[in-house]
């Protein structure tokens, strides 16, 4: 007989999967993708930046929305073993990630869309550590929560 997960546990699992996906993406972006911006060359950088923005959005929009909706849901209904503090801590980290994206990374990409600028590029790589660290911490937290709930 197959045992079905409760709705809150299923939502936690979906949040966990979305967070792990985004953590993998952000580490790739931090270590490989953003540093390589400086190698594109001025003649094709504007087109490259536009393609980057469109293609990246296509890859991350759905997982980010799933992660956000499920994190918020877990603040109101949690599986047994997940405290309100743990759920709110995870949501708070995600809030900072979204704020960083909207108010730090997106404006830097907007500046870069006019053409490559070394200082803006360096600031983009440096400030992206905010999201890299927070998504990594969310992965640790959600791994811990999944282990607690599935025991």
- Residue written as tokens 């994206």? 101
Between the CA of residue 28 and those of 23, 33, 115, 142, 146, what are the distances in Å?
9, 6, 23, 20, 24
pLDDT in tens, 73-122: 999 999 999 999 999 999 999 999 999 999 999 999 999 999 999 999 99
- pLDDT for 3: 61
- Residue written as tokens 């504007």? 46
Task: Provide the residue range defining the domain that includes 39.
Answer: 7-150
Whether residue 70 is contained in a domain is answered as: yes
Whether residue 1 is contained in a domain is answered as: no
**Two tokens at 130?**
């905010």
Whether residue 131 is contained in a domain is answered as: yes
44: CB partners within 8 A, 6+ apart:
none
Whether residue 65 is contained in a domain is answered as: yes
Domain count, the chain: 1
- Cα within 13 Å of Cα(1), Cβ side: 3
Whether residue 122 is contained in a domain is answered as: yes
The rounded distance, in Å, linking the Cα atoms of 12 and 60 is: 19
Whether residue 32 is contained in a domain is answered as: yes
pLDDT in tens, 1-35: 446 789 999 999 999 999 999 999 999 999 999 99
Mean local confidence (pLDDT), 57-76: 98
Whether residue 129 is contained in a domain is answered as: yes
The whole-model pTM stands at 0.95
**Two tokens at 54?**
């469109």
Whether residue 2 is contained in a domain is answered as: no
């Amino acid at each position: 007989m197959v045992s079905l997960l409760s709705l809150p546990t299923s939502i936690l699992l979906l949040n966990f999967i979305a967070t792990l996906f985004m953590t993998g993406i952000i580490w790739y972006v931090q270590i490989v993708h953003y540093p390589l911006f400086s190698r594109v060359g001025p003649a094709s950088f504007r087109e490259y930046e536009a393609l980057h923005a469109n293609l990246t959005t296509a890859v991350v929009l759905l997982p980010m929305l799933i992660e956000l909706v499920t994190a918020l849901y877990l603040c109101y209904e949690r599986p047994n073993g997940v405290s309100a503090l743990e759920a709110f801590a995870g949501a708070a980290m995600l809030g900072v990630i979204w704020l960083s994206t909207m108010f730090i990374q997106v404006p830097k990409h907007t500046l870069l869309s006019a053409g490559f600028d070394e200082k803006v590029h360096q600031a983009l790589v440096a400030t992206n550590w905010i999201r890299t660290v927070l998504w990594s911490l969310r992965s640790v937290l959600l791994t811990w929560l999944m282990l607690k709930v599935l025991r």
